[in-house]
Amino acid sequence: MSVAGNHRVAIDARGLTKEYARAEFRVVALQDATLEVREGEFLVLMGPSGSRKSTLLHLMAAMDRPTRGEINVFGQNLAGLSDAEIARWRNAHIGFVFQSFNLIPVLTALENVELPLKLTKLGKAERRDHAKRALELVGLEDRLNHTPRQLSGGQEQRVAIARAIVTDPDLILADEPTGNLDDVMGDSIGKTLINHARQRGSIGIIATHNKKLAAFCDRVLLLEAGRLHEH
């Protein structure tokens, strides 16, 4: 499935490089990556474990800053934003599925999913309704009042996905969103995530080892040894 070529470029990364200092060594996590993603595209990012797929997603979400290069998302040069501006920009545009879930242990599934909505103008009843619908979408309508410790790893994963999509973000970035799910549930949730984005015209990038999801996306990117290629 491909997106029409006349769609505008929404993500434009040029010469994107990320290096980390490790004792006396410097580790190059990403080297001279160039990438254009157009409106409405959904991409799969693949690569072996340790290939720094998470690094690229974090740069796109402005959770990290590049060592060199430039990245513009929705016309915004992320390097030019202060930390406070980045926080507001991210909440307005980004839905992120963390590989480690990042759920708040003392909150229920419903409360965890509702959290991003507290920075919007929605009232409490509307926030709860949106959060319930997001959890229903991932098949957790019977776990609304369960805390993370009362959920399985796969259920926590689905709560994290619901939280990422609850604001109908412009850009969905998902770091191994099906990694803790069995094959059947992983395929189902992966397709749900992609369909949700398509219905709303959102852009999406999934970092995954699930090759089946590539068939439902527009392009496959491959990250190897810090270098990004079109697969």
For residue 167, what are the domain limits? 9-230
Q: What is the dihedral angle through the alpha carbons of 166, 197, 101, 228, rounded to the nearest 10 degrees?
A: -150
CB 107 within 8 A of CB 129: no
Q: How many domains does the chain have?
A: 1
Does any domain span residue 226?
yes
Per residue in 123-154, pLDDT (tens digit) is: 999 999 999 999 999 999 999 999 999 999 99
Does any domain span residue 4?
no
Q: Is the CA virtual torsion 78, 79, 81, 85 positive or negative?
A: positive
The pLDDT > 90 percentage for the chain reads 70
pLDDT at 1: 44
Per residue in 161-190, pLDDT (tens digit) is: 999 999 999 999 999 998 888 888 888 888
Residue 180: helix, strand or coil by DSSP?
A: coil
- Distance of alpha carbon 78 from alpha carbon 92, whole angstroms: 14
pLDDT at 142: 97
Nearest to 68 by CA among 226, 231, 230: 226
pLDDT band at 56 (very low <50, low <70, confident <90, very high): very high
Does any domain span residue 3?
no
pLDDT band at 74 (very low <50, low <70, confident <90, very high): very high
The domain that holds 86 is classified in CATH as: 3.40.50.300
Does any domain span residue 1?
no
- Distance of alpha carbon 117 from alpha carbon 105, whole angstroms: 18
Asked whether residue 3 carries a pLDDT value surpassing 90, the answer given is no
- Distance of alpha carbon 124 from alpha carbon 36, whole angstroms: 38
Does any domain span residue 190?
yes
Does any domain span residue 143?
yes
